[in-house]
Amino acid sequence: MADKEKTFEESMARLEEIVRILEKNEKPLDETIALFEEGLKLVRTCDARLKSFETKIEEITAADHEEE
């Protein structure tokens, strides 16, 4: 499930691509609307990803690995 989702990097790249395509204004209207919707969705997910965070700090001691 998770690997079906785009990574943040891919989302940003796709978003940029969509903006570029739309600014060229060469696509048919249907496609433009579809791209716009996709773009808005990406804006929302990227934004949400950055705004709903909490810094997680985990400590792994390399010296402990013999205990396993």
Contact between 6 and another protein by CB under 8 A: the answer reads: no
30 CB neighbour count, 10 Å cutoff: 8
d(C-alpha 63, C-alpha 61), whole Å: 5
CA angle in degrees (0–180, nearest 5) for 8-12-16: 170
Residue 40 touching another protein (CB under 8 A): yes
Nearer to another protein, 1 or 68 (CB): 68
Gap between the Cα atoms of 17 and 36, Å rounded: 11
**2 scored as a contact of another protein (CB under 8 A):** no
Residues that bind another protein (CB under 8 A): 8-9, 12, 15-16, 18-19, 22-23, 25, 29, 32-33, 36, 39-40, 42-43, 46-47, 49-51, 53-63, 65
